[in-house]
Amino acid sequence: MEPSNLAALPEESSEEQNNQQQQQEVASAFASVPRRPPTQSSLQKYSPLDWKDYFDQEDDIKIPDTNDVFHVYMAGTEGPVVFCLHGGGYSGLSFALSAEMIKEKARVVSMDLRGHGKSTTENDLDLSVETMCNDVFAVLKAIYGDSPPAIVLAGHSMGGSIAVHVAAMKKLPSLAGVVVVDVVEGTAMASLSHMQKILSSKMQHFSSIEKAIEWTIKSGSLSNIDSARVSIPTTLKYDESKKCYVHRAKLEETEQYWKGWYEGLSEKFLSSPVPKLLLLAGTDRLDRTLTIGQMQGKFQMVVVRHTGHAIQEDVPDEFATLILNFISRNRIGPHGAEIPGIRWPSQLQN
């Protein structure tokens, strides 16, 4: 397995192996506090963007009988709910640019998972698959009570594994579909031994949010500047002792849970009785179980070209179109109706 295939794991790592030399050069450029402030043009190019340009509202969901509060972003007023679960090290705003388009035909709810973004929990380091699945159920119940609308779970990387596990538990009667973004069990399991090295190779300290956004683009973690400008700020927190910004999620301290995210993922994915869509950023990532399942027509697969690990951020319009096509094709929604005006992209594969 070539290092470029490590992208099936969570943490903004899709291009880090391919661009190792480039990263080292970029990292050295930011290794110390800059002697002079960034230029105005640089500040403007990498300045944060407001989530309100993409989502309609945000909310803090307090879970009863706990001190857990999950931050969610919402968009749209009608249609099925696309419930988005981000990858490790990302945040709910990873789906911001996609939500702007999806909300024209469906509703979008994107949550900050435990230990990420603006969510706060009693134990931010408990990223076990069981705990995170329970978090999803708790948030859905808090928002919709006992009568949730049709739900399409859309998960990227680590979030994709959570989506699959939630579906496999069969505790959500209104579940109408599962979309998994660029994570496959075989590649993910093979990559686990490299993850600490990948995490430690990431730039750890930033003198400003603009510098963090700039590094994210120049390192190849994301290619869409606008997406980085809206999603990166909530993946950071300011460290008073170090007088700089650091990563919000402490993924390096959660290694004990990584195997549980991905072990048995392919079988669970195939066993889910709802329509399934797998989006991949490369053709060589299907393991044997999924290859057989795809040949048997058990799920729909689309290979999205010219994108990194975070498909929903790099090509948000294409991602949104694929989501809406999936909803339309499977007649997901309150009336099982086709969504008018949606056409298949030319690269769709069955």
Is residue 157 among the annotated active site residues?
A: yes
What backbone phi and psi angles, to 5 degrees, belong to 49? -110, 150
**Considering only CA atoms, which of 281, 308, 304 is closest in space to residue 221?**
308
Kindly state the tokens that stand for 150: 């049709």
Query: Cα(5)–Cα(24) distance, rounded to whole angstroms?
Result: 20
What is the residue-wise DSSP string for 223-248?
--HHHHHHHSGGGEEEETTTTEEEES
**Considering only CA atoms, which of 3, 4, 2 is closest in space to residue 281?**
4
Q: Of these residues, 287, 309, 314, 328, which one is catalytic?
A: 309
**Residues 236/204, Cβ–Cβ less than 8 Å:** no
Beta bridge partners of 125: none
**Considering only CA atoms, which of 91, 24, 3, 80 is closest in space to residue 323?**
80
Q: Of these residues, 157, 219, 231, 328, which one is catalytic?
A: 157
Is residue 182 among the annotated active site residues?
A: yes
Please name the residues in contact with 64: beta carbons below 8 A apart, sequence gap of 6 or more: 142
Is residue 309 among the annotated active site residues?
A: yes
Helix (H) or strand (E) holding 338: none
Question: Which residues are catalytic, by number?
Answer: 157, 182, 309
